[in-house]
């Protein structure tokens, strides 16, 4: 199985990185896993030319967003992690998604078709908001919703969502249990 882990945090030793790395350590024994840190990559933002529609490659000069698009296409399981910034995913993570819309959906006028049916995803988000306020749409529930919106547009099945409150300062054993439970099916 090919697995793509996308780390949307700028913090190398932050909460997102910590829990995604736990998953990576378990999964790499059994699968072909790529760990993609968006803040270490070089990519330009989408310029909105729409030349990629309905199903072409981005026309910008080759950069790491082209690599991201290829990895998404080739992977069976996507694990997307992001801290909550202003009730959403981080801007750089979103930029990578914006650069590859046709990888997710074929859009031609009124014809919109998901392109990634059959793939699965695990979504891991975290925020500073304490329990239960992280469930507010203006906090990390907004991050979950924004990421899942894109994945579902591609027809990807959401296997599990992990939403960590309070800057990860809660019970670490409980969080780890949720993380391991999310990947149990794949190890
Ligand atoms: C620019 C910015 C915006 C943020 N916005 C929110 C927010 O809307 N809600 C929230 O609960 N925390 C917010 N935070 C806090 C982060 O989500 C929190 O520190 C998170 O645990 C960092 O995750 P990481 O260690 O994986 O990078 C924000 C932090 C930054 C830097």
Q: How many CA atoms lie within 13 A of 112 on its CB side?
A: 9
Q: CB within 8 A of 34, min separation 6: which ones?
A: 2, 3, 4, 5, 71, 75
Check if 82 has its Cβ closer than 6 Å to any atom of ligand 1.
Answer: no
Q: Which of 87, 135, 92, 86 is CA-nearest to residue 6?
A: 92
pLDDT tens for 22-59 read 999 999 999 999 999 999 999 999 999 999 999 999 99
Q: Which of 163, 136, 9, 151 is CA-nearest to residue 82?
A: 9
Q: Which of 39, 85, 91, 124 to mutate to test the pocket of ligand 1 (most atoms within 8 A of CB)?
A: 85
Check if 90 has its Cβ closer than 6 Å to any atom of ligand 1.
Answer: no
Would you state the pLDDT for residue 86?
A: 98
Q: Which atom of ligand 1 is nearest to the CA of 11?
A: 27
- In the chain, the domains with their CATH numbers are 2-186 (3.40.50.360)
Residue nearest to atom 14 of ligand 1 (CA): 85
Would you state the pLDDT for residue 145?
A: 98
pTM of this structure? 0.98
Would you state the pLDDT for residue 181?
A: 98
Check if 88 has its Cβ closer than 6 Å to any atom of ligand 1.
Answer: no
pLDDT tens for 123-181 read 999 999 999 999 999 999 999 999 999 999 999 999 999 999 999 999 999 999 999 99
pLDDT tens for 69-114 read 999 999 999 999 999 999 999 999 999 999 999 999 999 889 999 9
> Distance (Å, rounded) from C-alpha 28 to C-alpha 23?
8
Cα(150) to centroid(ligand 1), Å = 21
Would you state the pLDDT for residue 186?
A: 96
Check if 129 has its Cβ closer than 6 Å to any atom of ligand 1.
Answer: yes
Would you state the pLDDT for residue 99?
A: 98
């Amino acid at each position: 199985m090919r697995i793509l882990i996308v780390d949307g945090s700028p913090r190398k030793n932050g909460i997102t990185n910590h829990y995604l790395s736990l998953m990576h350590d378990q999964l790499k024994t059994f699968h072909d896993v790529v760990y993609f840190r968006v803040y270490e990559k070089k990519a330009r933002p989408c310029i909105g030319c729409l030349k990629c529609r309905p199903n072409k490659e981005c026309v910008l000069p080759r950069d790491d967003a082209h690599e991201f698009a290829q990895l998404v296409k080739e992977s069976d399981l996507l694990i997307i992690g992001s801290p909550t910034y202003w009730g959403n995913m981080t801007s750089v993570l979103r930029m990578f998604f914006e650069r590859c819309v046709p990888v997710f959906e074929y859009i031609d006028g009124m014809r919109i078709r998901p392109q990634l049916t059959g793939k699965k995803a695990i979504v891991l988000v975290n925020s500073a908001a304490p329990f239960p306020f992280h469930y507010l749409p203006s906090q990390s529930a907004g991050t979950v919703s924004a990421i899942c919106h894109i994945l579902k547009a591609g027809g990807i099945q959401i296997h599990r969502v992990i939403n960590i409150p309070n800057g990860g300062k809660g019970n670490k054993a409980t969080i780890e249990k949720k993380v391991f439970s999310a990947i149990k099916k794949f190890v």
